[in-house]
A and B are shown apart, each in its own frame.
Chain A
Amino acid sequence: MGTELLAEDPAAELLERATQGDAEAFAALVRQHQRMVFGISWHFFRDPAVAEDLAQDVFLQLFQHLREIRSESHLVFWLRQVATRKCIDHARWRQRQGQPPLDLEAASQVAAEAERGDSGDLEQLRRLVAGLPASFRAVVTLRYQEDLPPGEIARVLGCPVNSVKSRLQRALALLRERMKP
């Protein structure tokens, strides 16, 4: 019966094979989820090297914890959670190291890009998101990249739903304010 279920669900079969040590299956899993993981870290830092390093770390950690993954949906939840937490930790580490906050860099380029029309507007918004405080960035990325409702974001971040809602509101207020011409 188990074999029939596996045959009907290719994602579950792939996960099962990867758990049993099949490198090809694991590579397929990485290929399948790299857009989501890389997207989260890219929108967090807008730095290709940092984003790739973090995304690689996430998949390496996945390889170490494959036995704990129970299903495809659990895998997606796990990847979102680990990617977001790694991004928050890295952002806080950068702050402790005294590295320049990204929003200052973004602010200097906002005016030039705003003139490019819609795409410039979106690019400006992406830069402004990358300049938000780490906890706001996490909420905004999960809400608008992953289309998660506040309750699901709260599960991923391990915090109350009301905190998520309030962070979201404050982040939107900050973005609106910074978007003003």
Chain B
Amino acid sequence: MEPIEEKLNQALNCINAPDGFVTRVMARVEAHAPAIAKSFEKPRSSWFEWLWPWMAHPVPVAATAIAMLLALGLFLGYWRHQATPAISQQGRIDGRKASAELMLALEITSSRLSRMHVILSQPPPTVSVPANLIAPPR
């Protein structure tokens, strides 16, 4: 160690604060204490305040949350099960209606085709020409 370092070791030592220092610090602490207490509470937003007591007991809270999720799942499954027949009934009615319209269209088309078939299958009409209109052979 250099001489200057030894001197620094001797020169720089801890020093007692003036008399009454602790009392003055405590007075400042007491003056600030209510504000500090408020500052501990303030940062919590309303949802955090609501959540905070629950977070102290994580296992029961997690169990309750899982049970609630299961109940919600069961309810949604039941609701879907109830709602599905109503939806399919309406679909069935629409289907039947569409089917009937299709049948009608097919019948109309079929009858038209039958008539055309009848007309086409008849022999062509014979035309009789009077004898006086036929020119005599030369």
Contact = CB atoms under 8 A, between A and B. Distances in A.
A and B pair up: yes
Main DSSP-derived SS at the A contact region = helix
A118 to B, nearest CB: 9
Main DSSP-derived SS at the B contact region = helix
Contacts of B16: 34-35, 38
What is the size category of the interface that chain B forms with chain A?
20 to 34
Interface stretch (B25-33, B53-61, B96-104, B107-115): B25-33
What is the size category of the interface that chain A forms with chain B?
35 or more
- Max chain B C-beta neighbours (<10 A), residue from A37, A64, A175, A176: A64
Contacts of A34: 16-17, 21-22
B12 A43 contact: yes
Nearest to B39: A64
Interface stretch (A1-9, A96-104, A140-148, A156-164): A140-148
Contacts, number: 94
B10 interface: yes
B18 A60 contact: no
Given A34-B21, A38-B17, 13 more contacts: A34-B16, A34-B22, A38-B14, A38-B16, A43-B12, A43-B15, A48-B18, A56-B28, A60-B32, A64-B39, A122-B7, A144-B8, A145-B12
Nearest to B9: A144
A122 B36 contact: no
B11 interface: yes
A144 B16 CA distance: 17
